[in-house]
Structure 1
Amino acid sequence: MQKKTQVYLISFIILVLTLAHYLTPPDKPLLHDIYRRLYYVPIILAAFTFGLKGALISSVTVSIVFIPHVFHRWGHIHLQTMDALFEILLYNIVAWVSGALVESERKQRARLKEAQEELIQANKFKVLGELASGMAHEIRNPLGSIQGSLEILKEDYKEGDKKTEFLNILFKEIKRLNRVVTDFLSYARPTQPALVDCDINQLIAESVSIIKPEADKKQVVLKTQFHSQFPQIQADPSQLKQAFLNLLLNSLQALEKPGEISITSETSNGWINVEIKDTGPGISTENLPKVFTPFFTTKKEGVGLGLGIVERIVQNHKGKISVESQSGQGTVFTIKLPQKA
């Protein structure tokens, strides 16, 4: 709304100055000089509001409406005409310079803001990492003792005994707690990727083969479509495989009935794109912006760190990840990774 108001203001200033030019007699050169100088106001205002494109549109508009006045009123006075034409040239030069400076300043400000956010995030993860280490130690030690004690107790009961069933539940919960601690450590203290040349299609294929047995149980079809003659990529194979597995498991868990998960890879403008698409229930518009937020989950199981870990891995590989989804229409995750230079 504010930009729309600025458009009206800039247009109004140009219109008023142009009418002043056409309505002021030519024998009052001082007034015409003032009007000509005032044309710089809407041009610079457009530069500050809309950048280079807005400034040039404004200067070209001023030039178009001013040129007829130059030749109609001063065409017979060579010096006056040349002076006005030079002023028109200056309008466009000022527009280009001011617009370029504004855009440069905006880019610098955006880079500075991004750097500040990265620094704040790094400090947060440093504190979180220290907390995670202490927490993991304090939780895993008693869990190990509990598991050892349960294994001893289990020896006193035969398979099929009612108490053995309860012991198995305890073992399952201990395993789940260990997984939660592992996920928390992976998120809070991510290791820097050990970059090597690797075939991303092979990593995807290996990830698909790992989840295939579980997919077959749920009657979920896994489809792959790989780009032929794919360029190699500098990446950490184990970390990327973890990212692909997390996304595939996320899609698999989202499918409450038989469905399909498709994985495609392609290259585009120096990027390697990997798309994982499912036919699940999708994500609501309200929850979509939160999917990568740590500890956010809509599932009964899990702690909501899987997608956060994927995002961290992709970012550590100088890549990008995005998600598109609509309720009832499935979800698409897209990973973009830079090709090997």
Structure 2
Amino acid sequence: MEQVQFKPISRIKTFLLIVLLTVLFLFNSGADLVYESCAFSLLVGYHFFTDLRFSGDQIRSAGLMLPHLAVYLSLCTLVVWVTTEDAESAYWVIYLLPIAVAAANLSLKATLATCSVATLLFASLVPHRLYSDPTARREELPELMVFALTFFLVGVLIQSFSEQHRRQLEVEVQLNEKLHRQKTEQEESLARLEKAEETLRRRERLAALGEMAAGIAHEIRNPLGVVTSSVQLLESRLPDLKDNQRRLLQIILEEIGRMNRLIGDFLRFSRPAQPHLVETDLAAFLRDRLDQIAPMAAEAGVEIRQELPGQPVPVWIDGELMQQAFLNLLLNALEASEKGDSLLVGLDLRNDQAVTAIRDSGGGIAAEDLPLIFNPFFTTKEGGTGLGLANAHRIIESHNGQLTVAANPDRGTTFTVKLPLQPPDQE
């Protein structure tokens, strides 16, 4: 703001000084020129040191504006004094410099006070004969009054322009701040809308998947049961089967089992998760889940580390559903890890939420796959159904919680589960 109004005023004052200094050297000579040059040099040096080095805001914020004007007025008075002879000084216009400074940086009252001081200082330097001689007084006083009126007129005009400019800039600053706030709010609204749309799309996919699973489950499971019984019966009635024949029968049974597991995943999606909420110590719940996977972790050579609080962390969850969700996340982390990796499970409290972080140091998930990781049927595992993480996401959302995933800065992936601490409303 200061830079816009400071530069033009600086140019005006610099131009005035150059013009006056030129007039001084053109029309003066002798000993008077030495004194006048010294006075002008002091004024010019102070002008360049202050106006070109410091802005009005800097001087004002340092509390030095009034001393600055006092020095300016004193130096101007010195110039007028050394150039005053039988008549008033022809360099009265030099007082417009401190008046311009006051008008550009201070209020109207302070500007009028500066004009008054400049007028009094100039009047005190007018030769006394102009006041005592009636003829001179009649001729010179109107001219002196014009000088004084010029001081006030210039000061008021500059102050009015500067005040208008300051107000306009303040309005622009407020408008820019308002636009910035609106832009931020719009970006936040768009982010919430995108999140809501993604949630809606995921729920639509789950609803369609549930309908499909309910329709095909009974149609497939019964024939599979017949095929399984037939294979087992065939194996029992033909004891002389060759090894390769017996192996083929085992492959049939394994594939039937895999199809049964896939159908089971479908059926879990077809049944909406309606959790029966019970107050549960989440810290103890997580310890039990870690005990469940401890043998598998030891066999895989993965170290399990836990950062769980010693005191209870009560949350309202359906133990059976939440066990399914957490085991899915833990087993997924184990499968992503290799021998020598570690699996860290931490729990802390943030903003009325219990926040569980499951962090592995495995190979991680590709950045382009992270937004798709909770979509049904999306999987990067060979033989995977792509329903495990989607099911865990649905279960946690049914508890009014959140499940998110992020790549670690160094290596691996972190799944974060946020569950509310407050009990559900009793209606």
TM-score calculated relative to the size of structure 2: 0.56
Task: Between 121-130 and 169-178, report the one with greater CA deviation.
Answer: 121-130
Identify which of 306, 311, 327 aligns with 1:245: 327
Q: Pick from 402, 406, 409: which aligns with 1:319?
A: 402
Q: Which residue of 297, 304, 309 maps to 2:386?
A: 304
Of residues 240-249 and 186-195 in structure 1, the stretch that sits farther from structure 2 once superposed is 186-195
Check 1:64–1:118 CA distance in 2 against 1; reply closer, same or farther (3 A cut): farther
| Cα drift, residue 177 of structure 1 | 1.0
Distance in 2, Cα, partners of 1:110 & 1:321: 16
Q: Give the CA RMSD over aligned residues.
A: 3.9
Q: Post-superposition shift, 1:290?
A: 4.1
| Residues 69 and 143 of structure 1: CA distance in aligned 2, closer, same or farther (over 3 Å) | farther
Deviations 1:224-282 (A, max 9, x none): 23122243112222222112111221122233435432322222333322222334333
Partner of 2:104: 71
Q: Does 1:147 align with 2:224?
A: no
Q: In structure 1, give the amino acid aligned to 2:104.
A: F
Instruction: Check whether the contact 2:273–2:395 (CA below 8 A) recurs between aligned residues.
Output: no
1:126 CA displacement = 2.3
Q: Distance in 2 between matches of 1:226 and 1:313?
A: 22
Q: Which residue of 2 aligns with 1:94?
A: 175
Match of 1:275 among 357, 369, 385: 357
Distance, in Å, in 2 between the alignment partners of 1:69 and 1:182 is 84
Please state if 1:262 is matched with 2:344.
yes
Output one character per residue of 1:120-177: Cα deviation in whole Å (capped at 9) or x when no partner. 4433332222112112222212112212222322332559973444333322221111
How many angstroms apart in 2 are the aligned matches of 1:128 and 1:87?
A: 60
What SS is found at the alignment partner of 2:237? coil
Query: Alignment partner of 1:155: what SS?
Result: helix
Measured in 2, the distance between the counterparts of 1:217 and 1:170 equals 28
How far, CA to CA, are the matches of 2:271 and 2:192 in structure 1? 25
Equivalent residue letter for 1:147: T
- 1:96 and 1:326 map into 2 onto residues whose CA distance is 35
Q: Residues of 1 paired with 2:239 and 2:393: CA distance?
A: 46
How far, CA to CA, are the matches of 1:91 and 1:195 in structure 2? 55
User: Which residue in the other structure is 1:22 paired with?
Assistant: 8
Residue 321 of structure 1 deviates from its aligned partner by 1.5
**8 A contact 1:203–1:240 mirrored in 2:** no
Q: Does 1:126 align with 2:207?
A: yes
The answer as to 2:285 corresponding to 1:203 is yes
Mapped to 2, the partners of 1:179 and 1:283 lie a distance apart of 25
CA distance in structure 1 between the aligned counterparts of 2:103 and 2:190, rounded to whole angstroms: 41
Q: Match of 1:264, SS? A: strand
TM-score, reference length from structure 1:
0.68
Q: State whether residues 158 and 164 of structure 1, in contact with CA within 8 Å, keep that contact through their aligned partners in structure 2.
A: no
How much identity, in percent, do the aligned residues show? 31
Q: Does residue 216 of structure 1 match 2:298?
A: yes
| Structure-1 separation of matches of 2:105 and 2:340 | 77
- Output the CA distance in 2 between the equivalents of 1:191 and 1:185: 11
SS in structure 2 of the partner of residue 216 of structure 1: helix
Runs (5+) with no aligned partner, structure 1: 1-13, 27-62
- Cα separation, 2, equivalents of 1:198 and 1:331: 27
Structure 1 CA distance for aligned equivalents of residues 290 and 242 of structure 2? 38
Check the 8 A contact 1:246/1:310 in 2, yes or no.
Answer: yes
Q: Secondary structure at the match of 2:415?
A: strand
Residue number in structure 2 paired with 1:35: none
Q: Distance in 2 between matches of 1:330 and 1:101?
A: 38
Structure 2 Cα separation of the partners of residues 69 and 126 of structure 1: 74
Using a 3 Å threshold, how does the CA distance of structure 1 residues 112 and 279 change in structure 2: closer, same or farther?
closer
Where 2:359 maps in the other structure, the secondary structure is strand
Find the residue that maps to 2:383 and give its secondary structure.
Answer: coil
Q: In structure 2, how many angstroms separate the alpha carbons of the residues matched to 1:279 and 1:122?
A: 31
* Aligned residue-pair number: 289
* 1:277 alignment partner, SS class: strand
Q: Which amino acid aligns with 2:203?
A: A
Report the equivalent of 2:249.
167
